[in-house]
């Protein structure tokens, strides 16, 4: 759905690296090289970014076209 | 016991430790993983959340954000003098998050938290927490406390704390025909062929996988991978809340306290 905060296996923070990874790979850089640059050396952390699909971006469209989601009473 | 620092930076530490045994190393490792306290968000009051992410999911993500930790000022909630469920300013820090998307989609980051104590803040400021569509809003208050890894993984001060034996690789030049099979298979590029000789470099990176031995066609094998059971390479990678050497000192102090307690309790029992 949205990039996990940490690696499921070792617990290293990977969330803050997603945006840079995504934009650089989209610009055509080699994913392995970007992961090296980001300091993700273990394969558990590397798969977190490599296999991630940011589905929340698709979901957001429903909120943007529809009306506002009712606010929860305080 | 001899200790040499192989590598050190803000978040990771690699030590070569000679003259000890795996019982001690494992004690140290387990104390680092499950007993050294660190700061993490533990309680959260959601006032408003109209984001596409559910409250529980949001709370879980927020809990996993590593916070800078101050072990000298803060007490563990169970040891604090306040004895209060709600905590006091010696055992709890409140952080507020208040973000609203106006006319376009935004991402809420860990850096948007406003902490009541400027020295207890998220380590990484760019962790996405959620995204907000126009007019969506998040308002919440979070309470961070010290805790231990054995309570929940978010309180573990490290992402990695592991050790391995120090490897030794020997090539029997009389049997070896320098075919290079071992050089090709090594995942860490430890072995290199110079002329007819197989040389070893950066031996501390060897993972002891012994693929090189399996790949050698010679019988008896021309290459042998062994290790010294009294020497270790310890690798600590902090999540950023505490410096790796501070984690190690804290672990040693905890071990010391445990042993002292054991000693005094066993004397009492006598
Ligand atoms: S044991 Fe594994 S890592 Fe070490 S030299 Fe042999 S193949 Fe390389
Ligand atoms: S695989 Fe065996 S024989 Fe071939 S170079 Fe390595 S040690 Fe020598
Ligand atoms: Zn990992
Ligand atoms: Zn207190």
Q: Are residues B10 and B29 in the same domain?
A: yes
Identify which of B168, B199, B225, B233 to mutate to test ligand 1's pocket (most ligand atoms within 8 A of the CB): B225
In a domain, B205, yes or no: yes
Q: Provide the number of structural domains found in chain B.
A: 2
Q: Which domain holds residue B85?
A: 38-155
Q: What is the mean pLDDT of chain A?
A: 90
Q: Are residues B14 and B46 in the same domain?
A: no
Ligand 3 centre and the CA of A54: distance in Å?
19
In a domain, B247, yes or no: no
Is the pLDDT at B27 greater than 70? The verdict is yes
Interface mutation target, options B98, B103, B128, B137, chain A, most CBs of A under 10 Å = B128
Q: Provide the number of structural domains found in chain A.
A: 1
Q: In this structure, is the dihedral angle defined by the CA atoms of residues A5, A9, A11 and A14, taken in order, positive or negative?
A: negative
What's the CA gap between B253 and B260, in Å, rounded?
10
Q: In this structure, is the dihedral angle defined by the CA atoms of residues B198, B203, B207 and B209, taken in order, positive or negative?
A: positive
Ligand 1 centre and the CA of B187: distance in Å?
7
Q: Is B261 helix (H, G, I), strand (E, B) or coil?
A: helix
What is the structure's pLDDT at B123?
96
Residue of B nearest to A73 (CA): B48
The tens digit of pLDDT for each residue in B231-265 reads 999 999 999 999 999 999 999 999 999 999 999 99
Q: Are residues B145 and B45 in the same domain?
A: yes
pTM for the predicted model, two decimal places: 0.88
The tens digit of pLDDT for each residue in A22-43 reads 999 999 999 999 999 999 999 9
Question: Which has the closest alpha carbon to B99: B110, B88, B89?
Answer: B110
CA distances, B5 to each of B27, B123, B207 (Å): 20, 25, 19
Q: Which helix (H) or strand (E) holds B47?
A: strand B38-49
Of B50, B66, B130, the CB nearest to A13: B66
């Amino acid at each position: 759905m949205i990039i996990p905060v940490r690696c499921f296996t070792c617990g290293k923070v990977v969330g803050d690296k997603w945006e840079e990874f995504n934009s650089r790979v989209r610009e055509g850089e080699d994913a392995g090289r970007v992961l090296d640059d980001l300091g993700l050396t273990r394969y558990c952390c590397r798969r977190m970014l490599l296999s991630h699909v940011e589905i929340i971006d698709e979901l957001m469209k429903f909120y943007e076209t529809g009306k506002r989601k009712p606010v929860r009473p305080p | 016991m001899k200790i040499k620092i192989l590598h050190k930076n803000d978040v990771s530490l690699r030590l070569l430790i000679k003259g000890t045994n795996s019982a001690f190393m494992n004690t140290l490792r387990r104390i680092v993983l499950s007993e050294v306290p660190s700061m993490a968000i533990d309680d959260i009051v959601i006032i408003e959340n109209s984001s596409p992410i559910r409250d529980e999911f949001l709370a879980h993500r927020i809990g996993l954000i590593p916070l800078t930790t101050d072990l000298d000022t803060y007490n563990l909630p169970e040891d604090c003098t306040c004895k209060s469920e709600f905590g006091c300013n010696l055992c709890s820090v409140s952080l507020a998050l208040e973000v609203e998307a106006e006319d376009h989609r935004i991402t809420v980051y860990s850096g948007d938290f406003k902490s009541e104590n400027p020295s207890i803040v998220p380590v990484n400021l760019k962790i996405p927490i959620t995204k907000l569509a126009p007019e969506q809003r998040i308002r919440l208050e979070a309470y961070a406390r010290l805790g231990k890894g054995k309570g929940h993984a978010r309180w573990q001060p490290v992402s990695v704390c592991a050790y391995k034996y120090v490897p030794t690789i020997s090539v029997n030049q009389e049997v070896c025909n320098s075919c290079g099979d071992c050089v090709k298979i090594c995942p860490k590029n430890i072995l290199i062929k110079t002329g007819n000789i197989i040389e070893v470099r950066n031996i501390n990176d060897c993972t002891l996988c012994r693929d090189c031995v399996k790949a050698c066609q010679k019988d008896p094998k021309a290459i042998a991978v062994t290790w010294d059971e009294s020497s270790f390479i310890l690798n600590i990678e902090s999540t950023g809340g505490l410096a790796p050497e501070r984690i190690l000192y804290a672990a040693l102090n905890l071990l010391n306290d445990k042993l002292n307690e054991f000693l005094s309790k066993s004397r009492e029992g006598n």
